[in-house]
Structure 1
Amino acid sequence: MALAALARRIFGSTSDRHVKRYQGKVTAINALEAELEKLSDEQLQARTAEFKAQLEKGADLDDLIVPAFATVREASKRVLGLRHFDVQLIGGMVMNERGIAEMRTGEGKTLVATLPMYLNALTGKGTHLVTVNDYLVKRDAAWMGQIYNFLGLTTGTIVHGMTDMERKQAYAADITYGTNNELGFDYLRDNMKYTRDQMVQRGHAFAIVDEVDSILIDEARTPLIISGPSEDRSTLYTTIDALMPIIEEGDFELDEKQRSATFTDAGIEKLEAKLAEDGLLKSDSMYDVENVALVHHANSALRAHKLFRKDKDYIVRNDEVVIIDEFSGRMMPGRRYSEGLHQALEAKEHVKIQPENQTLASITFQNYFRLYDKLAGMTGTAATEAEEFADIYKLDVVTIPTNVPVQRIDDEDAIFRTAEEKFEAIANLIKECQDRGQPVLVGTTSIEKSEMLAELLRQKNVGTMNVLNARHHEQEAHIVADAGLPGAITIATNMAGRGTDIQLGGNLEMRIEKEAADLEGAEREAKIEEIKRTIAEEKAKALAAGGLMVIGTERHESRRIDNQLRGRSGRQGDPGHSAFFLSLQDDLMRIFPVDSMDSMLGKLGLEQGESITHPWVSKAIERAQGKVEARNFDIRKNILKYDDVMNDQRKVIFEQRLEMMDAEDISEIVIDMRHDVVANIVSKAIPARSYPEQWKAEQLQAAAKTYLNIDVPVIEWAAEEGIDAEIVTERLLAAADEHAAAKEARTITAMEAAGSSNPTVMRQVEKSIVLQSIDGLWREHLVTLDHLSKVVGWRGIAQRDPLSEYKQEAYELFQSLLENLRELVTTQLSHVELQPRPVAPPTADLSALRETHIDPLTGENDADGGDTVADSLGATGGDPSLKPIDPALLVGVSRNAPCPCGSGKKFKHCHGQF
């Protein structure tokens, strides 16, 4: 460690070396400034067409960095009156080179993004700016869109509640702003559509992720899930919930680290007695197979009552249980816990119980954002998670120096023995700050604690305060904008991704929007000048009082969240102050105890009512946070390893699905499927090197009727002299092909007779049946994989690697899916009789679907209502002659290319066959 520190002092950090490397281009951009200032608006705007022409002639994007960045800066000066600082130019270059720019709060990340967004939009492939909520999408697109529109590029926004047509138009723009959830859900929905023109996205070329640590790390623990309704079991939830009051301490065990709750033997005995009394127990034991559903519901109810707290994990609003994001403190309407937990919470709070859902499609943020050819990010806090960004996303974190040196004073942590002493000290400090006119921002970890502190301050007769939490989500931008006024007190439940600067004296844009929105002309200009004078006076008072005081009421599990709060103070060289107050009763200290902290405090002389402030304490807490972060990284990494298996299969299914959607004629695929089914039913009935008397002739004859809808005398064939499996196969193939040809001829004749002749009708039917069959089986496959991932961990007890076991069984299930698909399509096409009318392409009805974003770390996994698994996927399927191959090698392979397994066959006749 000492050698590393010495090397950094001599040679600079990795970020310092990156920044130094960009200085030459910064100088070149600055040299162009005087030249561009002389251009008219029309001449400056014409540069966009010039850049596009250069790219068409073979120029590289990197060749255009200097002139393009200089053009954007000049356009920004003219349109917004904002000139990019040199450090902002460097941030833009970092992002253009697939990096994460770590820039302090107030350094203008929103403006920085315009540089690489403009440059990459010149390719015409579309670029995406991803942010955390609809408010920031609309604000940033409207604000920065002025620059893009001035330079001749179009801008679109993707927010909740838009129609498919509106979404398609937004994605067709050169630059599209959207939330991470909406972009991910659009990708999943697109892969549930049946024609290319129904899809809204047009590819994944380049994306910049704002608040990249929040989206790619915090929210990456939770997959995006699209699910559909299953049967209603609300009565059972209510019944089980009514039993929870009899469960006392000693009847259950909690593990807050793993967010799990389990019944003890005593608790199970109590439940069984009560369930038997109420006539709900179908056998003597709750754990008999007949009572599996009861166990599931009882466990969900236990977690709802003992682990999840109202106003911390969720709130009740408009007769609904609404989840609260643990990182941002925001409500997440529309998201629901899975596996019956949300229904258990609804029963607990006595609101309407919504039905459970079954997973139809899912993807993690890791795998969604890895779809992009080029990915970048920006945030105020990423350095502590640099290893994860590099490992998972191949993104380097570069810390960009501030435009003006930071003047903020950061105190060492003050630690108390009890929470009551801690909050008393916090309240006294807030009162002192208000008395001298210093604005205060207080960060809490839950709604409950923010309101408790607010009540304590009211008892001390502290003046007006703003409480910013999920209850006041709608006013958050205006509350944050006023947090820099002299003497203002703002209590916030987490400050990650709030997206609005805390400016000393007030936020000019917000004040204009609020006070001058309805004014015009000279009256508006006069009002704006008045607002500017007021803000300047207020800022002077706030500066004189010491700038923004940031107070943390406890440490989070992640240092990044603490740094985000602390970074709100001291923007653009303003003075500021930050302090964290802790107690031994805080969640971090209680759940993840710091070794020997109590004895350390004793040695330092901590008495009742006193606090200790010492670098030892701060370092010890930082080490505890580091351990938690490392543990969470390992968990996320392990989850990703399992999801990667599904993701490889997802890519194969989605790519093959797209290929069939685009094809005019998939009859060749359908014929291959039919022939594969014939080969499969023959191999099951006629073992290799067997005699005719050993054949299962009756089974084969019945299978031919079931799958191919043909009556063939297989029993008579088996009695023929010289018959073998090859002859039987040839006869079945001929009969099946003849039956299919006759059916198509009958259909065309019937349509001609009805006056609606369409020779491609069978092609449309084939495509429709294949696509719908793929979708149905893929959904069942998702449920099966989800169940497999939950139980495979127990294989470790038998000294078998759970991940290897999961990969092997998932591969076998995927082969089974393909076999079931061939049988399902062949069966349907052989039995269907078409009516003489035009066949319209199928459309996906997505109206009844629910979009959720569930946390797998707490056990709320992908499939709600997942106990309806298709029996057909239980069998081991697949062609036994196929070599096992990693599904990742199958992604992107053309159907007519050689199979990657090395068999020498075309992909479509080997591992690519449906």
Structure 2
Amino acid sequence: MLGLGTISKKVFGTPNDRKVKAVRPLVEKINALEPEFQALSDEELIGKTEEFKARVAGGEELDKILPEAFANCREAAMRALGLRAFDTQLMGGIFLHQGNIAEMKTGEGKTLVATFPAYLNALAGKGVHIVTVNDYLARRDAEWMGKVYAQLGMTTGVVVPQQPEAEKSEAYAADITYATNNELGFDYLRDNMKSKLEDMSQRGHNFAIVDEVDSILIDEARTPLIISGPAADRSELYKTVDHLVPSISEEHYTLDEKARNATFTDEGNEFIEAKLLEAGILPEGQSLYDPESTTLVHHVTQALKAHKLFQKDKDYIVRSGEVVLIDEFTGRMMPGRRLSDGLHQAIEAKEDCKIQPENVTLASVTFQNYFRLYSKLGGMTGTATTEAEEFGTIYGLGVVEVPTNRPIAREDEHDAVYRTAEEKYLAVVQTIKTANDKGQPVLVGTTSIEKSEDLSNRLTKAGIKHNVLNARQHEQEAQIVADAG
């Protein structure tokens, strides 16, 4: 016997089916306009952009202009790149314009999809930000899709780290700006520390299209972006305290690895107090529990965290005598970024690097709060339905699963679980070898530099040619990716 829910779905379709069905008439309108826009000259395509801008300035809603704007953008992409957007890509663009998250499977052309709502919303003259997860993609997509925007008479900018202020301001002044979530957040903080409005780089938060939206808005939602300034130099204290850590036993502390926190037990506090007195760091007659000893307890705790909770080649690497953090979500180096509250200095002491002055927080914002600044937000990902409730509750965003252009031919296997890491790696190498013998390209993802290099050594021993891309080789990324497969 069928339940009411099952009968309802069979008769009316799922909520997602109804959303997809609702935009089909718009797609049909865009398709019907295609011959008209194909007949236009290059100058006339740009002329259409100027016409649309004038209509928006005159009060016409973007939704009314959408079919024509999308048809213009489709023709521009065809001329600039030789790519004709599929109906499903037009759907994805419509959903993004409506302020949704478009769930699109890998290979469905998300990069091109973003150009449609970006172009439409840029007609209002307030700018559009397209957010990527790394600088390489920001540069690549700005250069690639910039050809489409140029065909439409629109300007494109890209924001990257260590960019001169004038260049950065120019990038933000463009019609469409590509940037990473990190750069956008830090530029916002830097702008808020400036005293003159004309010195600010960003020009407001009109519309953002976020790629890999689940990673940025959910996984990293509460990650704080912090701008800090130097405090007093305590480098000698960090070095002295660091030498105490090897003598601390497991019964002296408890660890919370998920929260990356360490706490001393009562026995541990007594042990540390004795050691600090012995080293002459804690004055005679002063207890570790006295208010003036708070700073010392903090330093020892940070040294303990540095040794027990932060691993070299996983959480950071040492490069040219400096501790450089690795982004836990992307595996990329983050030069110039430092841990706060003396933790970075504790790691520098642990690795015997030059200890930079400790910093005090001057400005801070989380990604969650930053992206709520935008008047409208849209996002793309391959997997969003699992976090649909969070997207709705936190950001007020709906999730729409966009149909694939063709049926998916890929087979998704069940996870294979092994008793030991050694058995798992043997199976991984064998799977790679089998595919390699057939001439099939293989992409292997690992969770750390250490694991990628361990697997690389195993593949070398097995006589399998391969390339490694991790934080150590990030300068060669474009070449490695270009040669892949």
- The TM-score bracket by the shorter chain reads over 0.9
Q: 1:426 to 1:162 in 2, by over 3 A?
A: closer
TM-score, length-normalised on structure 1? 0.51
How far is 1:45 from its partner? 2.0
Match in the other structure for 1:39: 40
Q: Distance in 2 between matches of 1:177 and 1:305?
A: 38
How far is 1:237 from its partner? 0.4
Match in the other structure for 1:449: 451
SS of structure 2 residue aligned to 1:444:
coil
- Would you say the 8 A contact 2:391–2:397 is kept in 1? yes
Match in the other structure for 1:165: 166
Match in the other structure for 1:338: 340
How far is 1:469 from its partner? 1.5
Correspondent of 1:357 among 332, 356, 359: 359
Q: Distance in 2 between matches of 1:408 and 1:5?
A: 28
Q: Deviations for 1:226-275, whole angstroms, at most 9, x for unmatched residues?
A: 11111011110000000111112322222223322222233323222221
Q: How does 1:93-132 map to 2 (within 5 A)?
A: 93-132=94-133
1:424 aligns with 2:426: yes
SS of structure 1 residue aligned to 2:362:
strand
How far is 1:281 from its partner? 1.2
The residue identity in structure 1 corresponding to 2:69 is: A
Q: 1:338 to 1:5 in 2, by over 3 A?
A: farther
Q: Distance in 1 between matches of 2:10 and 2:473?
A: 46
Match in the other structure for 2:21: 20
Q: How does 1:468-507 map to 2 (within 5 A)?
A: 468-483=469-484, 485=485
SS of structure 1 residue aligned to 2:251:
coil
TM-score, length-normalised on structure 2? 0.95
1:297 aligns with 2:276: no
- Would you say the 8 A contact 2:341–2:360 is kept in 1? no
Match in the other structure for 2:467: 466
SS of structure 2 residue aligned to 1:416:
coil
Match in the other structure for 1:249: 250
- Would you say the 8 A contact 2:446–2:452 is kept in 1? yes
Q: How does 1:42-53 map to 2 (within 5 A)?
A: 42-53=43-54
Q: Distance in 2 between matches of 1:5 and 1:472?
A: 52
- Would you say the 8 A contact 2:449–2:471 is kept in 1? yes
The residue identity in structure 2 corresponding to 1:343 is: Q
1:238 aligns with 2:232: no
Q: Deviations for 1:286-340, whole angstroms, at most 9, x for unmatched residues?
A: 2221211110001001111111111111111111111111111111111111111
- Would you say the 8 A contact 2:38–2:75 is kept in 1? yes
Match in the other structure for 1:415: 417
Q: Distance in 2 between matches of 1:201 and 1:415?
A: 48
Q: Distance in 2 between matches of 1:6 and 1:426?
A: 45
How far is 1:390 from its partner? 0.9
Q: How does 1:535-614 map to 2 (within 5 A)?
A: none
The residue identity in structure 2 corresponding to 1:188 is: L
Stretches of structure 2 lacking an aligned partner (at least 5 in a row) = none
How far is 1:6 from its partner? 6.6
The residue identity in structure 1 corresponding to 2:430 is: N
Q: Distance in 2 between matches of 1:10 and 1:481?
A: 48
Q: Distance in 1 between matches of 2:30 and 2:240?
A: 70
Q: Distance in 1 between matches of 2:438 and 2:58?
A: 64
Correspondent of 2:314 among 308, 312, 315: 312
The residue identity in structure 2 corresponding to 1:341 is: L
Q: Distance in 1 between matches of 2:439 and 2:130?
A: 39
Q: Distance in 2 between matches of 1:156 and 1:327?
A: 25
The residue identity in structure 2 corresponding to 1:417 is: R
- Would you say the 8 A contact 2:27–2:91 is kept in 1? yes
The residue identity in structure 2 corresponding to 1:123 is: A
Q: Distance in 1 between matches of 2:331 and 2:183?
A: 19
1:270 aligns with 2:271: yes
How far is 1:175 from its partner? 1.6
Q: Distance in 1 between matches of 2:216 and 2:162?
A: 21
Q: 1:476 to 1:243 in 2, by over 3 A?
A: same
How far is 1:403 from its partner? 1.2
- Would you say the 8 A contact 1:322–1:331 is kept in 2? yes
Q: Distance in 1 between matches of 2:55 and 2:66?
A: 13
The residue identity in structure 2 corresponding to 1:167 is: K
Q: Distance in 1 between matches of 2:435 and 2:143?
A: 37
How far is 1:464 from its partner? 0.9
Bigger radius of gyration among the two: 1
Q: Deviations for 1:671-720, whole angstroms, at most 9, x for unmatched residues?
A: xxxxxxxxxxxxxxxxxxxxxxxxxxxxxxxxxxxxxxxxxxxxxxxxxx
- Would you say the 8 A contact 2:45–2:151 is kept in 1? no
Q: Distance in 2 between matches of 1:163 and 1:330?
A: 22
The residue identity in structure 2 corresponding to 1:335 is: R
Match in the other structure for 1:744: none
Q: Deviations for 1:53-75, whole angstroms, at most 9, x for unmatched residues?
A: 22233211100110100010011
Q: 1:10 to 1:250 in 2, by over 3 A?
A: farther
Match in the other structure for 1:140: 141
Q: Distance in 1 between matches of 2:328 and 2:420?
A: 23
Match in the other structure for 1:438: 440
SS of structure 2 residue aligned to 1:130:
strand
- Would you say the 8 A contact 1:129–1:210 is kept in 2? yes
Q: Distance in 2 between matches of 1:15 and 1:341?
A: 47
1:326 aligns with 2:328: yes
The residue identity in structure 2 corresponding to 1:192 is: M
The residue identity in structure 1 corresponding to 2:456 is: A
- Would you say the 8 A contact 2:205–2:374 is kept in 1? yes
Q: Distance in 2 between matches of 1:465 and 1:7?
A: 52
Q: Distance in 1 between matches of 2:19 and 2:336?
A: 42
The residue identity in structure 1 corresponding to 2:130 is: L
Match in the other structure for 1:197: 198
SS of structure 2 residue aligned to 1:441:
coil
How far is 1:5 from its partner? 6.4
1:372 aligns with 2:374: yes
Stretches of structure 1 lacking an aligned partner (at least 5 in a row) = 486-914
SS of structure 1 residue aligned to 2:78:
helix
Q: Deviations for 1:448-486, whole angstroms, at most 9, x for unmatched residues?
A: 222222222333x23211122211122233323433x3x
Q: Deviations for 1:120-171, whole angstroms, at most 9, x for unmatched residues?
A: 1111112211222222222211211111112111222221122322222222
Q: Distance in 2 between matches of 1:258 and 1:48?
A: 50
Q: 1:304 to 1:60 in 2, by over 3 A?
A: same
Q: 1:10 to 1:235 in 2, by over 3 A?
A: farther
SS of structure 1 residue aligned to 2:254:
strand
How far is 1:9 from its partner? 5.4
Q: Deviations for 1:181-226, whole angstroms, at most 9, x for unmatched residues?
A: 2222222222222222222222211111122122212222211111
How far is 1:93 from its partner? 0.2
Aligned-residue sequence identity (percent) comes to 64
- Please give the root-mean-square deviation of Cα atoms over the aligned residues, in Å: 1.9
Match in the other structure for 1:391: 393
The residue identity in structure 1 corresponding to 2:242 is: D
SS of structure 2 residue aligned to 1:160:
coil
- Would you say the 8 A contact 1:466–1:479 is kept in 2? yes
SS of structure 1 residue aligned to 2:275:
helix
SS of structure 2 residue aligned to 1:84:
coil
How far is 1:34 from its partner? 1.4
- Would you say the 8 A contact 1:431–1:462 is kept in 2? no
Q: Distance in 2 between matches of 1:430 and 1:219?
A: 32
Count how many residue pairs are aligned between Structure 1 and Structure 2. Answer: 483
The residue identity in structure 2 corresponding to 1:359 is: T
SS of structure 1 residue aligned to 2:411:
strand
Q: Distance in 2 between matches of 1:104 and 1:80?
A: 22
SS of structure 2 residue aligned to 1:445:
coil
Q: Distance in 1 between matches of 2:188 and 2:99?
A: 22
